[in-house]
Amino acid sequence: MFSNKERFKKGYLKKLESLCGKGIEESTIRDQYHTLGNMVREYISTKWIETNELYRSENKKQVYYLSIEFLLGRLLGQNLLNLEIKEVVEEGLHDLGISLSEIEECESDPALGNGGLGRLAACFIDSLATLNLPGHGYGIRYKHGLFDQKIVDGYQVELPEQWLRHGNVWEVRKPEEAIKVFFWGRVETSYDNNALSFKHVGAQKVLAVPYDMPVIGYQVDTVNTLRLWNAEPSSLGPNQDTLSYKREIEAITDYLYPDDTHDEGKILRLKQQYFLVSSSIQSIIASFKKENQNLRELHHSVAIHINDTHPAMAVPELMRILMDIEGLTWDEAWEVTTNTLSYTNHTILSEALEKWPIYLFQPLLPRIYMIIEEINERFCAELWDHYPGEWERIEHMAIIAHGLVKMAHLAIVGSNSINGVAKIHSDILKNREMKSFYDIYPWKFNNKTNGITHRRWLLKANPELTSLITEVIGDEWKRQPEKLLDLKRHIYHPELKERFAAVKRKRKEILAKEIADKNGIIVDIDSIFDVQVKRLHAYKRQLLNVLHIMYLYNRIKEDANYSIQPRTFIFGAKASPTYYYAKKVIKLIHSLADKVNNDPRVSQVIKVIFMGNYRVSLAEDIFPAADVSEQISTASKEASGTGNMKFMMNGALTVGTLDGANIEIMEEVGRENIFTFGLTAGEVQRYEENGRYRSMEYYHHDLRIRQVVDQLTNGFFSEDEGEFESIADSLLVQNDQYFLLRDFASYIDVQERVGNAYQNRDKWLEQALINISHSGYFSSDRTIQQYADEIWKIGPVGIRI
Ligand SMILES: *Cc1c(COP(=O)(O)O)cnc(C)c1O
C-alpha cells in the first residue's frame, strides 16, 4: 500500500471513501487525517501481531515500564518517519492536493503527562522498540490530559484538555482483556490447611479496560505496545445503574493529576496509582501464565520497572497476587517480587517525595496496607540487626512512620535496583538523600543518565538539520547516534558552518512566524534566540532569567551608549493550577514583556516573548530555532533535565549551572563550549547545612539587585504595587531558598560573555556544531541499552533490519 506513490494514492482514495463516505473534494482535513491514520495502523497491524507472537514463541524476558505519565506528543508524523513511508505519503498526498503537514497539525497532542518524567517515558518506549527490545509501556488513558493553557491579561487560565474529542486512531480497545480492580471493603482472615488465608470482601470492583497503542520501532519490524487503562463500572457493582456510582468510577481516569489540596483529591490520586498498578500487574501475570506455570520463576521472564514512586504499590500488589492468589509463601513471594522490580528516582525535592496518610490509605486499600505493614515490620527487624538500639535511625528509614506511608522507602526496599537520572543526582542519592539505604543495600544503587529520542527531537523536529548532517557524514548516525561524532572532523569547513547557519536561520524564521501569528510581535531573526522552556518551578529559576532581563532594561534605559547584542528572550511554561508562586511568575513575565516590547528604544535590542501552552508539538518548533539554552536551576535541584539535551542536539549553546545532566554535557563538549555559572551543588549543600546565607546582604550590597527587587513592588510594573509582593518576599523575607540573589552577579557575567561570544560568528557556529556532534551520547538509545544490560537483563528479539 505504501510501496509506491501510485499505489498509495489509490489506496488512500478508496479508504477515504469507505471510512468517511466521501470523495476527496468533500472531505474535511479531519477526514483526511482519520483516513491516513487508519491506513497506517492497519499497515502495521501484521507486524504488531507478529511481534507479539515472536515474544511468545521465543519466550525471552520482557520488561514492563509502569508510569503514571506518558507525554507522547503527536504520533502520525513520528510513525510515518519510523516506518520510512513519509516521502511516499507526502508526495502522494501532494498529488491529491493535500498537504501532509496540515494533516499532521490536525492531530491532537496527547499530553498524558506534565513534563520531563512523562516525556522520558515516551522517549524510552520509542528506543525500546527501535532496539528490538521486548518492552512495553503501561499507563492510564486519562480522558483529559494536562490542561490547555490560555493567557488572559497576563494570567494563566487552565482549560480542560480534550485529546479524545475526535477519537484516537492509534488505540485498539480490548474489552476481552479487562481486569477487575478492588477498592474499599475489608479483609477476612481465616486459618485453613495450616495456612492463613486472606479474602477481600465487600469491595467496590472497578473494571480496567485496556486500550493498546502500537509503538513502532525505527527501520525495524518491531511493534511494541503501550497499554493505557480506562476505568469503567463493573457490571457486578452493587448499585451499578446509579449515575453517581458510574461517575465515581469514571472519575478515576478522568484527569491527569487531580487537585490534591483536599483529601478527596488525594484519594483520587491514590486510586489512580493502585488502578494502574493492579491492572498492569494482573495483566502481566496473566500473560506470563499462558506460557509458564511456575510463578517462582517470574523474574526470569519478567522485569517490571517503576517510573518514580507513583507505581510503587507494585511491591505489595505483586506480593498479594503471588501469595493470596498463587499460593506462594511470604519468603517465596518476596524473593520473586524484589527480583522482578526496579525503581527510578526522579527528584530529591522533599515536597515531591510521596507520603500518604494512613487514614486515607488503609480504608481504600485494606489488603495492600496489611502487606505494607508486614513488609515494614520485617524491614525494621532487619534494620534492628544492623543497628541494634538505634531507634531514631530505624524510625527515619521505616516505610510507615508518624501516620504516613513513605512510597520511596517502599520502592527501595521492594526493588533490586534504584537508579538516579544523572551522575550528580545518583551521587546525591547515595551520599546524602538515601545514604542510610545505600549503607545497607549498596549493590542496589546505580546511575542511568537520561536521554531523549533523537528520532523525535532531531529527525522529526529538525528535518533541515537532519539532511545537512546526513549529507556530510552519511546516515549511519540515525541508528547509531554516537556516530554524530563524525561531524567533528568537518566543523572547521566554512561550507558546513554556512549551511548550518542557514538551517538555523530558516528555523528561526519559522518560529518568528509562529510568534507573529500567536503573539502579534515581530522579532528580529538576527537577534540571539535565548530560550527557557520547561515547567514553571521555583527551583528552575525562571525568576533569575526575569531579573536579568529587568537589569538589562535598566542598563539600556540609563546608559544611552550601552550597546548589547540584540536578544529575543523566549519563555514557555505551564504552572501547576494550585502553585501560587509559579502563576505569579507567569504574570511577571507578561508584565515585563509589556514593558520591554512597548519601549521604543529598549525593544530595538531586546524583546520578551511568552509562548502559551508549552507542549511537545510546540517544543518541536522551539528547540531547532534556539541559539541559547537556559538551564539555570539551583545546583543539586534538577535531577537531570532533558530539555538541555534537546537544545544541544539542535545546536544551541547552554547557559547553565553545574546541575543535573548539564555537568555531563560539559564533560562531553568541553568547558570552552558551554557557559557555566553559579554555586556548585556542594556550595549549595553547605549553605543549607550551615544556614549562613543571607539574601538581604546581597540585596544591600549590589545596587543592581536592589534596583530590580525594588521594581517588583514600587509600581514599576503595575498600578497595583502588591501584585508581585509575594515574589519580592520569596527573595527577601523568606531568604531566597533557591539562591537567586547569590547567583545573580555570576549570571550577569556569564550572559555578557554569551553576548560577546555570539559576535564571533565563526566561532559560535563551530561551538554549536561541536555540541551537535557530542549529542549522540544523550540519545535515549544509549540510556535504554544501559537499562536493558544492567537492570532489566533483557536482550533483543528477532533482529530483522
Ligand atoms: C523535554 C520536555 C520537558 C522537560 O524539560 P526540562 O527542561 O528538562 O524540564 C518538559 N515539557 C516538554 C513538553 C518537553 O518536551
- Give the span between the Cα atoms of 36 and 34, in whole angstroms: 6
- Give the span between the Cα atoms of 434 and 19, in whole angstroms: 56
- The CB-based long-range contact list for 42-46 (8 Å cut-off, 24+ gap) reads 43/1, 43/2, 43/83, 43/85, 44/79, 44/83, 44/214, 44/216, 44/223
- Give the span between the Cα atoms of 612 and 519, in whole angstroms: 9
pLDDT tens track for 660-705: 999 999 999 999 999 999 999 999 999 999 999 999 999 999 999 9
CA 621 to chain CA centroid, nearest Å: 18
Ligand 1 atom nearest residue 616's Cα:
13
Q: Which residue has its alpha carbon closest to ligand 1 atom 9?
A: 534
Tell me the angle at which helices 740-759 and 703-711 cross, rounded to the nearest 10 degrees. 100
Candidates 526, 546, 527, 528; CA nearest to 536 is 546
pLDDT tens track for 496-521: 999 999 999 999 999 999 999 999 99
The arithmetic mean of pLDDT across residues 318-343, rounded, is 97
The arithmetic mean of pLDDT across residues 378-397, rounded, is 96
Q: How confident is the model at residue 234 (pLDDT cuts 50, 70, 90)?
A: confident
Burial class (CB in 10 A: 0-12, 13-18, 19+), 188: exposed
- Give the span between the Cα atoms of 64 and 135, in whole angstroms: 6
CB 50 within 8 A of CB 60: no
Q: Is the CB of 615 under 6 A from ligand 1?
A: yes
Predicted confidence at residue 672, as pLDDT, reads 98
The arithmetic mean of pLDDT across residues 438-442, rounded, is 97
- Give the DSSP H or E segment for 645: helix 643-649
Show the cell assigned to 39.
Answer: 491506513
Q: How many CB atoms lie within 10 A of CB 205?
A: 18
Predicted confidence at residue 238, as pLDDT, reads 56
Could you tell which of 535, 536, 620 is best to mutate to test the pocket of ligand 1, judged by most ligand atoms within 8 Å of the CB?
Answer: 535
- Give the span between the Cα atoms of 629 and 615, in whole angstroms: 17
pLDDT tens track for 472-497: 999 999 999 999 999 999 999 999 99
The arithmetic mean of pLDDT across residues 316-338, rounded, is 97
The DSSP code sequence of 231-277 is: EEE-TT-TTTT-HHHHHHHHGGGTBSS---SSHHHHHHHHHHHHHHH
- Give the span between the Cα atoms of 539 and 635, in whole angstroms: 9
Which range has the worst mean pLDDT, 239-248, 478-487, 552-561, 623-632?
239-248
Q: Which residue has its alpha carbon closest to ligand 1 atom 4?
A: 116
Residue 645 alpha carbon to ligand 1 centre in Å: 10
**Helix, strand, or coil here: 610?**
strand
Q: How many CB atoms lie within 10 A of CB 149?
A: 21
Position 800 pLDDT exceeds 80: no
Q: Is the CB of 619 under 6 A from ligand 1?
A: yes
Amino acid at residue number 523: V
Could you tell which of 613, 631, 642 is best to mutate to test the pocket of ligand 1, judged by most ligand atoms within 8 Å of the CB?
Answer: 642
Candidates 572, 567, 588, 570; CA nearest to 533 is 572
What's the whole-model pTM score?
A: 0.97
**Helix, strand, or coil here: 660?**
coil
Residue percentage of the chain with pLDDT more than 70 = 99
- Give the DSSP H or E segment for 306: strand 302-307
Residue 217 alpha carbon to ligand 1 centre in Å: 22
Q: How confident is the model at residue 350 (pLDDT cuts 50, 70, 90)?
A: confident
The arithmetic mean of pLDDT across residues 95-123, rounded, is 96
Predicted confidence at residue 801, as pLDDT, reads 43
- Give the span between the Cα atoms of 785 and 131, in whole angstroms: 8
CB 409 within 8 A of CB 398: yes
Predicted confidence at residue 427, as pLDDT, reads 98
- Mean pLDDT, the chain, whole residue set: 96
The arithmetic mean of pLDDT across residues 56-85, rounded, is 97
DSSP type of residue 387 = S
Residue 745 alpha carbon to ligand 1 centre in Å: 27
Burial class (CB in 10 A: 0-12, 13-18, 19+), 18: exposed
The arithmetic mean of pLDDT across residues 183-202, rounded, is 92
Predicted confidence at residue 239, as pLDDT, reads 55
Candidates 439, 686, 321, 708; CA nearest to 549 is 708
Which range has the worst mean pLDDT, 160-174, 244-258, 532-546?
244-258
The arithmetic mean of pLDDT across residues 276-305, rounded, is 97
- Give the span between the Cα atoms of 444 and 417, in whole angstroms: 4
The phi and psi torsions of 223 (rounded to 5 degrees) equal -125, 105
Candidates 221, 767, 191, 164; CA nearest to 504 is 767
- Give the span between the Cα atoms of 490 and 473, in whole angstroms: 9
- Give the span between the Cα atoms of 24 and 17, in whole angstroms: 8
DSSP type of residue 537 = -
The arithmetic mean of pLDDT across residues 602-631, rounded, is 98
Position 53 pLDDT exceeds 60: yes
Could you tell which of 109, 534, 628, 775 is best to mutate to test the pocket of ligand 1, judged by most ligand atoms within 8 Å of the CB?
Answer: 534
Place of cell 502481566: 284
**Active-site residue set:** 346, 534-535, 540, 642, 646
**Helix, strand, or coil here: 216?**
strand
- Give the span between the Cα atoms of 156 and 577, in whole angstroms: 9
Predicted confidence at residue 551, as pLDDT, reads 98
DSSP type of residue 671 = G
Candidates 507, 471, 458, 500; CA nearest to 780 is 458
Ligand 1 atom nearest residue 116's Cα:
4
Position 135 pLDDT exceeds 60: yes
- Give the span between the Cα atoms of 463 and 529, in whole angstroms: 20
